[in-house]
Structure 1
Amino acid sequence: MGSHSYDFIVVGAGPAGCALASFLAKSAKRPNVLLLEAGKHNDDKTLKVSGKRWVTFMEPSLNWGYKTTPQEHCSGRELDYSRGKCVGGSSAINFGVYTVGARDDYDQWAAELGDDTFAWKNIQPRFKALETFSGKIARPEHQKYGAPQAADHGDKGALGIGYAKEWEADVPLVLDAFEEAGLQRNLDHNSGNPLGISLMINSVRDGVRTTAADLVKNAPENLVVISNSQVQRVILEGKKAVGVESNGTQYFASKEVIISAGSLDSPKILMHSGIGPAAELTKFNIPIIQDLPAIGQGLKDHPFTTLLVTRNPETNDRNAFFQSPEAMAAAMEQWNEDGTGPWARYGSQLGSGWFKSDRITASEEFKALPADVQDFLNRETIPHYELASGFPLHMQVPQMFQDYSYICLAVFLMNQQSKGEVRLQSSNPDDPLLFDPHFLEHPYDQRACIEMYRHLLELTEHPAFSKDTVATVMRPASNSDEDILQFWKDNAGSSWHMTGTVKMGKDASKDSAVDNAFRVFGVEGLRVADMSVVPVLTNNHTQATAYVTGATCADVLIREYGLDQ
């Protein structure tokens, strides 16, 4: 084997690519695997501080810095569409939420493909193989907030996840208030049923952010990771993929090329290789190798917005910390020493939950949905929205705050019915695609956003919560449908959960691009494995699904090539 020739080439070292490359490389046959990453190695430990994980995305060297096209239904705004650019991918810049979604998500994926590979009973063991879960809750009086069962979690995987050891004083206060206001409790969001309010599970271990790079940190010799190597195109011989080109260098694969560059960049690499919608490619004079109209279509995401209230300063001690540069500096020294202290407490443990809404399912907009969509939204473990409390907004917009005694609540729309797209804007493979998620376009999405925000307002107006509220700083002008929807249009953002642009399906009909073995239709030796292929936008923060998608593709390849013999 020459230095540029491998058994498998994986493009993109985010959660999917790192999981795929590491599991492939560790299979019994020890194939030679090359993992190519456009960004750098992210070795700066200070970019992995648990309490500062809300601002890592502002580090320009780690972020592609993408924006959406102006969103027609979001007041014409271009929205932040951050994507990680380093070994670790977006797990290096996300907000550190590790949730696996609903078992019904994966059973739906399996049903759509007619393949149990994707069913919860087979997906859950892969989640367990990825993680080492710490469900310990230090203080006895807090143990009522979480009680994960060992059977639902792994203890040998490379990804350290769990609850923070120390919490801010108002985390239990808010959990209690919301329970008093009528929310059900959930003792573990990662059991396959996310419904109810609970402790957020963090992709953090001992105060340090966990990233996909942890999967390839102690890589065996047969796994080569090359950073600063953006891939422009797949090298094809006829309709067979034989390698990839990165900045003028060619790398060859004797078995497979697998693209794991995510929902915004996997379609780009395919299109610039002549694989995609013929009409789009023709517009930019790209020779057509395989006409696949689904590539770039079907983009889904979770739009979210916030509600901000100032609180009685006696319910927390944020002012003492964030008004004191000395306290923050001392906390950094302590964190550098052993990962403990205030920077592993402030902003390090949030409360969150997933919920169903009778108001949504009673609405005309819900009843107008296709019967199979209604059926899915009515399944036992499928939520209609997510609520999270404790988001440290002042870290992102410091100019807004002098008083840190506030609570920022966020609501996220699950199961968006609007469908977006990504498309070419030039013939240069180093230019990003145009990203248009079509946020809030579908009548169901508008209705669901109105009802879930109204529920959030009611929760904050409940005496159990409002007794500690001093003022409401950011909210709609009134509780009317019109004002709530206008607030969404003016303030909604993306949760960076882009999914579905190279959709997996049973045949190369108009809405799918890869088969149940991750193979691109009509092209030999080429697969895609990342959130772009996932046909169901899972009810979670999608980094966990990206990891398990890579792990599942590894299982498929190991089986197909007999690599476990």
Structure 2
Amino acid sequence: MASTYDFIIVGSGPAGSAVAAWLAKSAKKPRVLLLEAGGKNDDKDLRVDGQRWTTFRNEALNWGYKTVPQEFCNGRELDYSRGLGLGGSSAVNFSVFTVGARRDYDEWSRVVGDDAFGWAHMQRRFKSLESFDRTLPPGIDSRYAAPKAEDHGSSGPLKTGYVAEAEKDVAPLLDAFKKAGYPLNPDHNSGNPIGFSFGINSSSKGVRSTAADLFTLAPENLTVLTESPVKRIILEGSKAVGVESNGKRYLASKEVILSAGSVNDPKVLMHSGIGPRAQLEKYGIPVVKDVPAIGQGLRDHMFIPLAYTRAEESTDRASFYGDKKAMADALEQWKKDGSGPWAKYACQLPIGWFKLDKLLASQEFQDLPASEKDFINDPTVPHYELLSHFPLHWFVPDFPDSALNYSALLVFLFNAQSRGEVTLQSADPDAALRIDPKFLSTAFDRRAAIEGLRDALRFVRSEGYARDSVSTITGPASDSEADLLEYWRQTIGSSWHMTGTVKMGRPGSVDAAVDNNFRLIGFEGLRVADMSVVPVLASCHVQCVAYLTGITCAEKLISEYDLA
């Protein structure tokens, strides 16, 4: 006997959890079912703030995806981790909480022809999501961070804020950026991220926040089932009526909302007979509807590391990371009250976004379409990002204890023009898709990579930073364009910001799979709401965009079904 609900949501990442929570808490209390393929993720020890960098290595929490060898990155196969379990990727991400540029959302609005996606509406949703703790740690004052109350929420379900105690070299780093001529930004979540900032986290008082926090006070009309992977959607003609999971049928009287992410949404759709005809026929999957856009248009941010050993007195990192007993004692302290070194080290991420005049002057930029040039030229849209205090030693095999006194900067490439794809490679719905982001496959991306790294090295060599650098741990062989690009090819990684594989657009657009109401075009009762539909690669670490996408979909459903 099938169970029936009003709404069924597939996937409990930030978007799916937001759809489920907002629908369930609407006034008319519809019956909402949220299905999650992984487990409950309810062990409090998974929330240790300073261990945010290693949680994704827990195989029980990770789909464990890899890319195909990347043609323009020396044939390297890259990690493409996706969170598995309640909270989705928010349970294994690095807790960087950034909303991006106001133009990101206004561009989304323009592309799909709907003001609901513009910055004014998205900022309202942003404020309904977060409970922002504006408390600054000792040694950090309004010179470095000065968020305005009107730009933040104080009563949302997701706790965000600053670290309780900053590492010794954070304030000097901010000063070094200012001295080197880079602007400081008092609040990167105001809609304009340009400048270097004291970073905001999806954590508070030493404890990481995840999408599971949206269910802290779950209403009785919400059912959450973990260990419930969905392989196919139940269709009656062009109408979605439910899903199958673990041999059971769950029926939706109103809508099925797919929120399984940019990699798994196309997989579920294609194994349901919805996708590019040639792929479906190749693996003997009956074609319900030929939708060429599904699995195409994959976009992502990518990054490389720079690292330098530092003068001994400039940091105190080695005294913690080099002492196993100190780390064990700190964990016991964290378990008591969330305080101590595990709420300090690698918990504060100074972060900045910058423009590149040389990129704008390049032929590669001039060759872009006019609409893309207009977007990239916008005053709020950055060209690259720098993030500091990344714990590189956890990612490098056999990192020597003698080098633990170091500083690491990550350089992120933004506005990439490459378009990748996720495609079938088996008729088995349990088999992973073939993932090819096609990193660095366009001339513009390669030019942006060179100019971003060149500008990052300008900071590295500035007096305020270089005076404490002792030696290079990792960096390019020289300043030549060939060596700068080769360093990207050798060390590039995905930022895990996968976007756009079930892209939203105006009906009739060849690259659009869903309309501006999140409906899969050509179907009834079937919507897609997560990063897979977002038509803009936002200027941020995208977990916040995923939350806002889910809230936006929920608001549209609440309005359409008169649930308010």
TM-score (norm 1): 0.99
What SS does structure 2 have at the residue aligned with 1:35? strand
What SS does structure 1 have at the residue aligned with 2:336? helix
Q: Does 1:266 align with 2:265?
A: yes
Aligned position for 1:540: 540
Aligned position for 1:344: 343
Q: For 1:82-114, what per-residue CA distance to the aligned partner results, in whole angstroms no more than 9, with x for missing partners? A: 000010000000111000010000000001111
Structure 1 CA distance for aligned equivalents of residues 50 and 464 of structure 2: 27
**Structure 1 gap segments, 5+ residues each:** none
Aligned position for 1:80: 79
Structure 1 letter corresponding to 2:390: F
Aligned position for 1:56: 55
Structure 1 stretch 139-148 or stretch 223-232: which is displaced more?
139-148
Pairwise mapping of residues 62-141 of structure 1 onto structure 2 (< 5 A)? 62-139=61-138, 141=140
What SS does structure 2 have at the residue aligned with 1:79? coil
Native 8 Å contact 1:229 1:247 kept in 2: yes
What SS does structure 2 have at the residue aligned with 1:472? strand
Q: Does 1:468 align with 2:472?
A: no
Structure 2 CA distance for aligned equivalents of residues 535 and 322 of structure 1: 41
Q: Does 1:431 align with 2:399?
A: no
Aligned position for 1:480: 480
Aligned position for 2:561: 561
What SS does structure 2 have at the residue aligned with 1:51? helix
Structure 1 letter corresponding to 2:319: A
Aligned position for 2:34: 35
Structure 1 stretch 185-194 or stretch 275-284: which is displaced more?
275-284
Pairwise mapping of residues 9-408 of structure 1 onto structure 2 (< 5 A)? 9-139=8-138, 141-397=140-396, 399-402=398-401, 403-408=403-408
Structure 1 letter corresponding to 2:331: M
Structure 2 CA distance for aligned equivalents of residues 308 and 133 of structure 1: 32
Structure 1 CA distance for aligned equivalents of residues 469 and 103 of structure 2: 37
Structure 1 CA distance for aligned equivalents of residues 2 and 425 of structure 2: 35
The change in CA–CA distance for 1:481 and 1:334 in structure 2 (over 3 A counts) is same
Structure 2 letter corresponding to 1:490: Q
Q: For 1:202-237, what per-residue CA distance to the aligned partner results, in whole angstroms no more than 9, with x for missing partners? A: 111110110000002321010000000110000001
Native 8 Å contact 1:316 1:405 kept in 2: yes
Q: For 1:134-171, what per-residue CA distance to the aligned partner results, in whole angstroms no more than 9, with x for missing partners? A: 12113265331100000000011110011101011011
Aligned position for 1:523: 523
Aligned position for 2:421: 421
Structure 1 CA distance for aligned equivalents of residues 397 and 434 of structure 2: 30
Native 8 Å contact 1:142 1:172 kept in 2: no
Native 8 Å contact 2:13 2:87 kept in 1: yes
Q: For 1:293-322, what per-residue CA distance to the aligned partner results, in whole angstroms no more than 9, with x for missing partners? A: 100000000011011111001011112112
Structure 2 CA distance for aligned equivalents of residues 205 and 141 of structure 1: 17
Structure 2 letter corresponding to 1:422: V
What SS does structure 2 have at the residue aligned with 1:244? strand
Structure 2 letter corresponding to 1:546: A
Structure 2 CA distance for aligned equivalents of residues 101 and 39 of structure 1: 29
Native 8 Å contact 1:292 1:508 kept in 2: no
Native 8 Å contact 2:318 2:404 kept in 1: yes
What SS does structure 2 have at the residue aligned with 1:143? coil
What SS does structure 1 have at the residue aligned with 2:41? coil
Structure 1 CA distance for aligned equivalents of residues 200 and 397 of structure 2: 26
What SS does structure 2 have at the residue aligned with 1:145? coil
Native 8 Å contact 2:137 2:162 kept in 1: no
Structure 2 CA distance for aligned equivalents of residues 141 and 13 of structure 1: 36
Native 8 Å contact 2:137 2:163 kept in 1: no
For these two proteins, the number of residue pairs brought into alignment is 563
Q: For 1:474-511, what per-residue CA distance to the aligned partner results, in whole angstroms no more than 9, with x for missing partners? A: 11110000001001001100000000000000014320
What SS does structure 2 have at the residue aligned with 1:400? coil
Structure 2 CA distance for aligned equivalents of residues 539 and 212 of structure 1: 21
The change in CA–CA distance for 1:30 and 1:141 in structure 2 (over 3 A counts) is closer
Structure 2 CA distance for aligned equivalents of residues 411 and 4 of structure 1: 49
What SS does structure 1 have at the residue aligned with 2:262? coil
Aligned position for 1:513: 513
Structure 2 CA distance for aligned equivalents of residues 3 and 157 of structure 1: 35
What SS does structure 2 have at the residue aligned with 1:265? helix
The change in CA–CA distance for 1:537 and 1:88 in structure 2 (over 3 A counts) is same
Task: Return the offset for 1:464.
Answer: 1.1
Structure 2 CA distance for aligned equivalents of residues 391 and 192 of structure 1: 24
What SS does structure 1 have at the residue aligned with 2:533? coil
Structure 2 CA distance for aligned equivalents of residues 326 and 550 of structure 1: 43
**Structure 2 gap segments, 5+ residues each:** none
The change in CA–CA distance for 1:287 and 1:456 in structure 2 (over 3 A counts) is same
Native 8 Å contact 1:24 1:31 kept in 2: yes
Structure 2 CA distance for aligned equivalents of residues 517 and 193 of structure 1: 27
Task: Return the offset for 1:395.
Answer: 2.2
Structure 1 stretch 317-326 or stretch 419-428: which is displaced more?
317-326
What SS does structure 1 have at the residue aligned with 2:132? strand
Structure 2 CA distance for aligned equivalents of residues 376 and 83 of structure 1: 29
Native 8 Å contact 2:138 2:166 kept in 1: no
Task: Return the offset for 1:174.
Answer: 1.1
The change in CA–CA distance for 1:140 and 1:174 in structure 2 (over 3 A counts) is closer
Structure 2 CA distance for aligned equivalents of residues 399 and 120 of structure 1: 45
Task: Return the offset for 1:463.
Answer: 1.1
Structure 1 CA distance for aligned equivalents of residues 139 and 486 of structure 2: 44
What SS does structure 2 have at the residue aligned with 1:425? coil
